[in-house]
Amino acid sequence: MIYTCYEMVRDCRADLPEGWTHFVTYYIPVIRRILGQYAPGQGDDPKLLERVLLAIRKPESSMFNSIEPAPERWFVAELRQKVTAELQAAAPEFEIDLEALGKALAPMTMTEKQAVWFETMRYAPAETGPMLRISAQTVEKVRERAADMIRGTVDAWRRTLLAENGAALGREAQAARGEDCLPAKAFLDVIEGRSVWRDRELMDQHLRGCWHCVDHFCRLVEVNEWLRGNQPLPEAETRRFLDLLGIAAVKQTGWKRLFGKA
Ligand SMILES: [Zn+2]
């Protein structure tokens, strides 16, 4: 029987070592990727990782108290929020908000807006292309066009404007959910190649005018990337982190159930 993400959330809530052992083993590698992406220059600082883990572990701030047991992708999306909330973003020198960005990029299509949005999430064209199933060159061209459009509408511009404003734009987009916004399932269907043409058309139309959904879609793509080929921590490393967090060892039977080996 496989130990699921639902069970992990439930067990961490109840502060059982099984839950925390599973969390440490499977999600520290994901946290490292989140830090690598959103803590530029300090992503591989072991002290930063420890600080984030201790913040997650704290009973009063534990993310496990505030979320419902959920499928893995939902859980990882919450994890990203929790980890990035622990990071102090430097204030951008020049600011741009969602309204200004929307005005500047009004003529762009859904895919073009996604290519630009991944820039706010600090993904280079070479990383963005495969995630959107377009070429890196196309991403680069779209971003150059977007830069021209933005530069023509704002007072102060520089090349890193979008990346520097990424955290604030992301928060704004997440809060901008409207009545017609699409559910996560609609985006997952596209990501997994299940959507039909008509859905795709409707989605395209909606996303042209909705940054909330552009953001939601891009972040699900990102989560999907993180989970693809996610490698569990080696046992010795797992034990070291469990010690750091003050988690008792799971009994052999529990270990066997978590990892399928004694
Ligand atoms: Zn929407």
pTM for this predicted structure: 0.89
Instruction: Give the long-range contacts of residues 246-252, CB within 8 A, separation 24 or more.
Output: 246/57, 247/17, 247/20, 247/21, 247/24, 248/17, 249/17, 250/17, 250/18, 250/21
| Residue 256 pLDDT > 70 | no
- CA–centroid distance, 242 to ligand 1, in Å, is 40
| Residue 106 pLDDT > 90 | yes
- CA–centroid distance, 213 to ligand 1, in Å, is 4
- CA–centroid distance, 180 to ligand 1, in Å, is 6
Q: How confident is the model at residue 160 (pLDDT cuts 50, 70, 90)?
A: very high
What percent of the chain lies above the pLDDT cut of 90? Answer: 67
Query: Alpha-carbon torsion 193, 198, 204, 207, what sign?
Result: negative
- CA–centroid distance, 137 to ligand 1, in Å, is 28
Q: Which residues have beta carbons under 5 A from ligand 1 (an ion)?
A: 181, 210, 212-213
- CA–centroid distance, 209 to ligand 1, in Å, is 8
Q: What number of residues does the chain have? A: 262
- CA–centroid distance, 118 to ligand 1, in Å, is 17
- CA–centroid distance, 45 to ligand 1, in Å, is 36
Between the CA of residue 73 and those of 41, 78, 146, 226, what are the distances in Å? Answer: 26, 9, 30, 10
- CA–centroid distance, 16 to ligand 1, in Å, is 38
Question: What ranges do the domains of the chain cover?
Answer: 5-88+232-259, 98-227
**What is the average per-residue pLDDT within 90-113?**
94
Q: Check: CB of residue 100 under 8 Å from CB of residue 123.
A: no
Question: What three-state secondary structure class fits 154?
Answer: coil
The three-state DSSP-derived secondary structure of 24-92 is: HHHHHHHHHHHHHHHCCCCCCCHHHHHHHHHHHHCHHHCHHHHCCCCCHHHHHHHHHHHHHHCCCCCCC
- CA–centroid distance, 214 to ligand 1, in Å, is 7
Q: Check: CB of residue 93 under 8 Å from CB of residue 142.
A: no
- CA–centroid distance, 5 to ligand 1, in Å, is 27
pLDDT of residue 88: 79
| Residue 157 pLDDT > 80 | yes
Q: How confident is the model at residue 69 (pLDDT cuts 50, 70, 90)?
A: low
